[in-house]
Each structure stands twice: as C-alpha cells, then as structure tokens.
Structure 1
Amino acid sequence: MGRGRRAWPRHDVAVLLWRLCIEHRRSLAVLGWTLGGQP
C-alpha cells in the first residue's frame, strides 16, 4: 500500500506547489481587490 505513494514523489511535490501557487494567487487577487477595487 505504501508503494503507491512512494512511486510518484514528484507528483506529490507538484501538487503541493500547484496548490500553493493557486492559494497565493487568490490571496493576491483578494488583496488587490480590497486595496484598489473598492468604489
């Protein structure tokens, strides 16, 4: 059962980086909207 996870260590890292990138982008977008998006 542990082989499945160890078979693709790079995949796990890629997913983590992708999620971090998406979260960072969302936070930056929210900050931009709150700073220069208020009427």
Structure 2
Amino acid sequence: MGKLVFQAFVYISVLLEDALKVGFDSSFILDLAFKTSS
C-alpha cells in the first residue's frame, strides 16, 4: 500500500513540475477547462 502512495506522489510531482515549466499556459488551459466544464 505504501508503495502505491509513493508512486502516486511521484506522479503528482512530475505533473506539477511540468505545469511549472509550462507556467501561465497551463494555468490558462486549466481556467479554460474549468469554465467549459461548469
């Protein structure tokens, strides 16, 4: 179970790192996705 949690943590960290690299573009896409879904 602990291994699964660790893998999820690593996966989220990679996603966050990618989001930071993309910067404003990713936040713009997230805003757009949030507005279209609601």
What is the aligned residue count? 25
Q: TM-score, normalised by structure 1?
A: 0.57
Rg comparison, structure with higher value:
1
- Does 2:17 align with 1:28? yes
Bigger share in helix: 2
Q: CA RMSD in A?
A: 1.6
**Unmatched 5+ stretches in structure 1:** 1-11
What one-letter code is carried by the residue in structure 2 that aligns with 1:31? L
Instruction: Work out the percentage of aligned pairs sharing the same amino acid.
Output: 4
Alignment of 1:1-39 (within 5 A): 12-34=1-23
Greater relative contact order (Cα < 8 A, sep 6+) = 2
What one-letter code is carried by the residue in structure 2 that aligns with 1:28? E
Q: TM-score, normalised by structure 2?
A: 0.58
Partner of 2:36: none
